[in-house]
Amino acid sequence: MQQKTALILGASGLTGKHLLELLLEDPLYRQVTVYVRKPVHISHPKLVQQIVDFEKLNTAIDATDVFCCLGTTIKKAGSQDAFRQVDLVYPQKVAVLQLAAGSQKFLVISAVGADANSSIFYSRTKGQLEKALTALGYPCLCIFRPSFIMGDRAERRVGEKIGIFIAKLISPLLIGPFKKYQPVSALALAASMQHAAHHHTEGLHHISSDEIKKFEY
């Protein structure tokens, strides 16, 4: 088995931290590089940490597979423009740089309801990201569209917690075409990204919440 190299964006976040742990123990990867604003408190022989300023980033690294777990909220970012930078501009920028450097696979967390023409800012931004990434022509592009992502966050998001609580209550009722709205755990999302990296080699793939939920532990 030919070993590969990976790049993770957002490795300190809710899903990214689980993905980092999974890839470090994955024999498929000989090296895992993370782009972070401050060091993650993990020591591993396969781990390479790079402190980056996405605004100034203009180079790429050797990474066969790129995993994008970047994401924020308007409240945390401070404005819609700042949110757009994190959820659209930075992922697109890295995708362009890495494709030019030879990356073969880009795996990104989007959201259920992503639509470039949506009247809802959040859904529109996610849809614009999907559209931009698809247009790049990656040999393999995997787009994950989770509903609510559950897990222990560093910051408290009251509205989101209420939403997750409600979603968990009605989750058993979400069947058929509504399965895509089922909440999923961050660990399951990370595991589904790892699985996709192993099993999808070419083409465009959309992975919804009901597919992600199969990886719940």
Residue 126 annotated among the catalytic residues of the structure: yes
Task: Say what the pTM is.
Answer: 0.90
What angle do helix axes 14-24 and 186-199 make, rounded to 10 degrees?
A: 50
Query: Coil, strand or helix: which one is 173?
Result: helix
Q: Tell me which of 46, 93, 122, 179 is the catalytic residue.
A: 122
CA terminus-to-terminus distance, the chain: 27
Which residues, 6+ apart, have CB-to-CB distance to 60 below 8 Å? 94, 97, 98, 100, 101, 103
Domains and CATH numbers, the chain: 4-215 (3.40.50.720)
**What are 12-69's pLDDT values in tens digits?**
999 999 999 999 999 999 999 999 999 988 999 999 999 999 999 999 999 999 999 9
Q: Tell me which of 4, 17, 105, 126 is the catalytic residue.
A: 126
Residue 154: pLDDT over 60: no
**What are 159-205's pLDDT values in tens digits?**
656 666 666 666 565 555 656 678 899 999 999 999 999 999 999 99
Residue 38 annotated among the catalytic residues of the structure: no
In angstroms, the CA 7 to CA 62 distance is 8
Mean pLDDT of the chain: 91
